[in-house]
Amino acid sequence: MTRLDPWDAAAQARVSDRWAAASAEWNTAITQALLTATGLSPDSMVLDLAAGSGEPALSIARRLTAGKVIAIDSSLASLLLAKTHARELGLESKVECLQGDAQAIPIRHDCVDRITCRFGIMFMSNTARAMSEMMRVLKPGGRVALLAWGALEQPFFDATLGVVLRLVPGARIPSEAETMFRFATPGSLLQELRAAGFSDLHEKSLTLPRIWAGTPLELWIYQQEISTLCHPLFASVPQGMKDEIDFEVRAALSRFTDGEVLNVPVHVKIAVGAK
């Protein structure tokens, strides 16, 4: 599975913590949509793949009483942050963090009721192997819910990455960043689930709000800091064009002003299947 360097992932999490107040609702609607599709019950045993520094595993844990969530990620540094967050929220007894690869999930057969993955499936280099592993660890009747980006051509990316691509001569999306959108084509993620033997398949294309409690410029700075895969694109901006780019991005993001926050629509896909 192609993943960021662990220390990059840890630095990314620290950036998120620094912007915690402004970004508190940034992924709320996205996570809510994923968990709704998952169909959790209070006693579910849940596996969250590519869990990063703890979301959506922590949101899942809040919904469980007798259940538990296993958070798996290849980055040990990110998982240590996830454990810290779980402890701070009083959820430590409901969250188990395991370092591992989605293509070789380190748990036994037929042991989880639900599997979630938020914005991780796109980066798994051997998707067929990852799907096979999900099928292996799910209990009969268990369900998997996978959330991926829609197309690059959508309001949030048009207002940020799109400005750089339009104004900077020769600018292009790095190949690793293009991977983010590999399941944007309708039905492409369902095809992977179907090939692995999943049934009762459903896919939804959703437009969801991302709420930013800060200024457009702050959101642009946050985007540049958190989007590690796009760092080569941001670095391609000539020093003499930075003010122009900042101005144009601020203007584009200002269109989403809603009272004292920015309400930015994003397009995502959720695919669900059963064992």
Phi, psi of 49 (to 5 degrees): -90, 150
**In CATH, what number is assigned to the domain containing residue 101?**
3.40.50.150
By the 10 Å C-beta count (0-12 exposed, 13-18 middle, 19+ buried), 102 is classed as buried
- Number of compact structural domains in the chain: 1
Local confidence band at 20 (pLDDT 50, 70, 90 cut-offs): confident
Tens digits of residue pLDDT in 186-208:
999 999 999 999 999 999 999 99
By the 10 Å C-beta count (0-12 exposed, 13-18 middle, 19+ buried), 84 is classed as middle
204-226: b or e for each residue (b if 16 or more CB lie within 10 Å)? eebebbbbbbbebebbbbbbbbb
Local confidence band at 1 (pLDDT 50, 70, 90 cut-offs): very low
Residue whose structure tokens are 């669900």: 272
Contact 54, 81 (CB under 8 A): yes
Contact 37, 146 (CB under 8 A): no
The closest alpha carbon to 94, from 50, 138, 73, 64, belongs to 64
Half-sphere exposure for 250 (CA within 13 Å, toward CB) = 11
Q: Report the C-alpha gap between 82 and 6 in whole angstroms.
A: 13
Q: What pLDDT, on the 0 to 100 scale, is given for residue 226?
A: 87
Residue 160 lies in a domain: no
Q: Report the C-alpha gap between 184 and 133 in whole angstroms.
A: 23
Tens digits of residue pLDDT in 222-274:
999 888 899 999 999 999 999 999 999 999 999 999 999 999 999 999 999 99
Residue 228 lies in a domain: no
Q: For 103-130, what is the mean pLDDT?
A: 95
Residue 159 lies in a domain: no
Q: What is the DSSP letter of 101?
A: B
Q: To 10 degrees, the CA torsion angle through 235, 240, 246, 252?
A: -100
Tens digits of residue pLDDT in 39-83:
999 999 999 999 988 999 999 999 999 999 999 999 888 898 899
Q: What pLDDT, on the 0 to 100 scale, is given for residue 117?
A: 97
Which domain covers residue 117, as residue numbers? 6-151+181-213+266-274
Residue 88 lies in a domain: yes
Residue 130 lies in a domain: yes
Phi-psi region of 241 (alpha: psi -120 to 50; beta: other; left: phi over 0): alpha
Residue 39 lies in a domain: yes
Phi, psi of 154 (to 5 degrees): -150, 160
Q: Is the pLDDT of residue 147 over 50?
A: yes
Contact 223, 19 (CB under 8 A): no
Residue 230 lies in a domain: no
- Read off the tokens for 259: 């009272």
Q: Is the pLDDT of residue 4 over 70?
A: no
Q: Average model confidence (pLDDT) for the chain?
A: 92
